[in-house]
């Protein structure tokens, strides 16, 4: 595709990199190398400075989500930013939290880069569900419990098809719900309406893998009330159907190194 | 939990580490550090020597899946092996392909380690679905197409509930099917029986992230025939509802570094 691009400057390159859940040690080696070789790093708001500091010191860092000191950049503006730097010859790292392929709006950015004739590739990252389940010592799948796991987003929950609620309401189902804090009451209502056991375990993990990680262990019945009381402010992942295993042990070891 | 264990030797430690899909550069930094600090590495058959060679050179390497020159070790035997080394004081890395929490039988091993009073933690890894979808330049989720993605296993497919087939048969559904080669004809039959479009794109990715990665782009209608003709021999992941994006570009860049 780069052959379709004829400019005087050498054509750049875009690498869509998953930054993982937050702990810099959960970057892949490939992601670290991409950051070290970048001319420009265009990053999501939630990517920490600890991770950005691993970039090539000469790289420009551009925050693509300016919440806090201005309106969030539109997806179109982000696309334009990525393309402009790559057309200018830069090695661009587009750094996204977690895994870029999971609720990362990756396709829209690849479309823009492809349309501009810029070569690109994707470096996968650790998605929040993997880091969160590791922190509570559970598996996403388990023989005899669930042979399938679902990743859902709490955004646009009202558009979620009704028979999926029936399936999710079954005993033993496991789902990782991204961005599910605001939709907790809606999710609870639909699941109970479709026959879910009110005692179904639900675990909410905030800031997975980070020093301020918090784990809220509750049930479907108590989810909205307990979430309200906990007043979580960071990014959180909600697990339907999983309780922490020996929470005190998992938590105390979740950020330990082997030696 | 280590406080419950009173032995003369210092108690060891078990780290359940996801080795990722195969490319050593898709190890996390945390996984690499755990390997470098290990006394004993107990690994799945499919973990490559390129990855094992990153371990502490003094570490013992034990293959927990001896297919090819003997029967596979039973899960009970693997559990005993892990516990025996940790009780002996070793820092044990239990190295599993992909992410240990996805179809990794992790719970059974944690149960054994917990019962022996040995401290443990989990280091998440890149699961095959993430690496595979990155290789074909697609996302697991996409606005306007699917707000949920499922990871299934082709093992024990006959036990899969019937209304899940109805949901999976809908347009726009995306599922990553692990170990789905043998069950391809069964999956095809169930989906078509429940109304799936025979032209639904299906992509099978063998040896994702490795130099011998192969991508088979087909449709639900042609899946069993094309799979048979391709005669894939390595581990493969089947995507329902995804076709490669500009396959030649994605493939040519999938293993490139930025510089």
Q: Does the residue A258 lie in any domain?
A: no
Which of B98, B123, B148 corresponds to the end of one domain?
Answer: B123
Identify whether residues A145 and A118 lie together within a single domain.
Answer: no
Q: Do A122 and B103 touch (CB under 8 A)?
A: no
A142/A238 same-domain check: yes
Per-residue model confidence (pLDDT) at position B7 = 45
- Predicted TM-score (pTM) of the model is 0.90
Asked, for residue A53, whether it belongs to a domain, the answer is yes
**What does the pLDDT average to over B2-7?**
44
CB atoms within 10 A of CB B31: 27
Beta strand B148-153 with B201-206 is unpaired
Interface test with chain B among A96, A148, A150, by most B beta carbons within 10 Å? A148
Residue of A26, A27, A29 for testing the chain B interface, max B β-carbons within 10 Å: A29
pLDDT at B154 over 70: yes
Cβ-based contacts of A58 with chain B (< 8 Å) = none
Q: How many CA atoms lie within 13 A of A122 on its CB side?
A: 33
pLDDT at B161 over 90: no
Q: Considering chain A, what percentage of its residues have pLDDT values greater than 70? A: 85
pLDDT tens-place string over residues A75-115: 899 999 999 999 999 999 999 999 999 998 899 999 999 99
Residues B111 and B224 in one domain: no
Average model confidence (pLDDT) across chain B: 88
Comparing CB atoms, the residue among A124, A254, A257 nearest residue B126 is: A124
| pLDDT of B206 higher than 90 | yes
Write down the pLDDT at residue A143.
83
Mean pLDDT of B17-46: 97
**A67 vs B217, higher pLDDT:** B217
- Who among B13, B29, B38 is closest to A27 (CB)? B29
The percent of residues in chain B predicted with pLDDT above 90, rounded, is: 73
- Cβ contact, residue pair A1, B131, below 8 Å: no
CA distance A145 to A142: 5
Residue A255: predicted pLDDT: 38
Q: Does residue B93 lie within any of the structural domains?
A: yes
Given a cut of 50, is residue B50 above it in pLDDT? Answer: yes
Which pLDDT tens digit goes with each residue over A134-182?
999 999 998 888 889 999 988 767 666 766 888 899 999 999 999 888 8
For residue B225, what pLDDT is reported? 96
* C-alpha to C-alpha distance for B24 and B20, rounded to whole angstroms: 8
- The answer to whether B30 is a known catalytic residue is no
The reply to whether B258 falls in a domain is no
A56/chain B closest Cα distance in angstroms: 12
pLDDT interval class at B66 (50, 70, 90): low
Domain match, B154 and B69 both: no
Last residue of a domain, one of B68, B101, B123: B123
CA distance A65 to A49: 14
**Same-domain check for residues A132 and A119:** no
Instruction: Please determine, for residue A1, whether its predicted confidence score (pLDDT) is greater than 60.
Output: no
Lowest mean pLDDT among A12-16, A28-32, A177-181: A177-181
Q: Count structural domains, chain B.
A: 2
Contact B253 A121 (CB under 8 A): yes
Beta carbons of B138 and A246 less than 8 Å apart: no
Rounded Cα–Cα distance for residues A215 and B132 (Å): 31
- Cα separation, A150 vs B160, whole angstroms: 14
Position B236 confidence tier, pLDDT thresholds 50, 70, 90: very high
- This complex has an ipTM of 0.89
Residues of chain A in contact with residue B152, where contact means CB-CB under 8 angstroms, are 147-148
- Cβ contact A41:A35 at 8 Å: yes
CATH number at residue A246: 3.30.950.10
What CATH number corresponds to the domain at position B6? 3.40.1010.10
A91–B258 C-beta distance less than 8 A: yes
CB–CB contact B28 A26 (8 Å): yes
Nearest chain B Cα to A177, which residue?
A: B148
B66 catalytic per annotation: yes
Q: Provide the 8-state DSSP code for A207.
A: S
Q: B233 and B151 share a domain?
A: yes
Pairing of strands A60-63, A40-43: parallel
Q: Tell if the CB–CB gap between B121 and A141 is shorter than 8 Å.
A: no
Q: Does residue A189 share a domain with residue A104?
A: no
Q: Give A63→chain B minimum CA distance, Å.
A: 20
Closest CB to B163 among A29, A134, A166: A166
Q: Checking DSSP bridges between strand A214-219 and strand A201-206, what pairing results, if any?
A: antiparallel
Name the minimum distance, in Å, from the CA of A219 to any CA of chain B.
21
Residue B246 and residue A1: Cβ atoms within 8 Å?
yes
Q: What is the pLDDT of residues B94-130, one digit of tens each?
A: 999 999 999 888 999 999 999 999 999 999 999 999 9
User: What is the predicted pLDDT for the residue at B144?
Assistant: 82
B107 and B137 both lie in a single domain = no
- How much is the average pLDDT of B194-220? 96
Residue A55 is classified by DSSP as S
Q: How far is A153 from A68, CA to CA, in rounded Å?
A: 23
Mean pLDDT of A24-49: 96
Reply yes or no on whether the pLDDT at B252 is more than 60. no
The pLDDT assigned to A147 comes to: 85
pLDDT at A108: 92
How much is the mean pLDDT over chain A? 88
pLDDT reported for residue A154:
84
> pLDDT for A48-58, tens place per residue?
999 999 999 99
Q: Chain B closest CA to A118's CA: distance in Å?
A: 10
Closest Cα partner for B47 from B29, B30, B33, B26? B26
Confirm whether A259 is domain-assigned: no
Is B8 a member of any domain?
A: yes
Task: Choose the final residue of a domain: A123, A140, A163.
Answer: A123
Q: Quick one: B236 and B160 in the same domain?
A: yes
For residues A183 and A186, give the distance between their C-alpha atoms in angstroms, rounded to a whole number.
5
Per the model's pLDDT, the better-predicted residue between A142 and B253 turns out to be A142
Q: Which residues of B touch A19 (CB under 8 A)?
A: none
Are A116 and A47 contained in the same domain?
A: yes
The mean per-residue pLDDT over the stretch B226-252 comes to 81
Residue B259 is assigned to a structural domain of this protein: no
Residue pair A225/A40 in contact (Cβ under 8 Å)? The answer is no
More confident position, B55 or A68 = B55
- A53 and A147: one domain? no
Structural domain span for residue B75: 2-123
**Could you read off the pLDDT of A218-247 as tens digits, one per residue?**
999 999 999 999 999 999 999 999 999 864
Q: What is the pLDDT of residue A210?
A: 96
- B9 and B70 both lie in a single domain: yes
Query: Cα distance from B44 to chain A (closest Cα, Å)?
Result: 17
| DSSP strands (E only) in A187-227 | 201-206, 214-219
* Mean pLDDT value of segment B204-223: 96
């Amino acid at each position: 595709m780069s052959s379709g691009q004829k400019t005087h400057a050498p054509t750049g390159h875009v690498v869509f990199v998953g930054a993982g859940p937050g702990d810099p040690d959960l970057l892949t080696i490939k992601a670290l190398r991409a950051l070290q070789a970048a001319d420009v790093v265009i990053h999501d708001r939630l990517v920490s400075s600890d991770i950005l500091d691993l970039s090539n010191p000469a790289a420009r860092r551009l925050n693509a989500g300016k919440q806090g000191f201005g309106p969030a950049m539109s997806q179109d503006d982000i696309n334009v930013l990525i393309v402009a730097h790559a057309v200018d010859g830069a090695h661009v790292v587009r750094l996204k939290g977690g895994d870029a392929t999971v609720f990362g709006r990756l396709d829209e950015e690849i479309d823009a880069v492809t349309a501009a004739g810029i070569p690109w590739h994707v470096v996968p990252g650790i998605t929040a569900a993997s880091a969160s389940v590791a922190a509570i010592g559970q598996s996403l799948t388990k023989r005899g419990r669930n042979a399938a796991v679902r990743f859902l987003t709490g955004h646009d929950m009202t558009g979620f098809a009704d028979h999926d609620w029936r399936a999710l309401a079954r005993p033993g189902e496991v789902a990782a719900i991204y961005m599910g804090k605001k939709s907790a009451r809606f999710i609870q209502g639909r699941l109970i309406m479709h026959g879910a056991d009110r005692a179904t375990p639900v675990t909410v993990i905030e800031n997975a893998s980070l020093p301020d990680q918090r784990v809220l262990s509750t049930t479907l019945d108590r989810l909205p009330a307990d979430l309200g009381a906990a007043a979580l402010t960071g990014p959180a992942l909600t697990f339907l159907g999983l309780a922490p295993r020996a929470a005190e042990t998992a938590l105390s070891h979740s950020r330990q190194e082997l030696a």
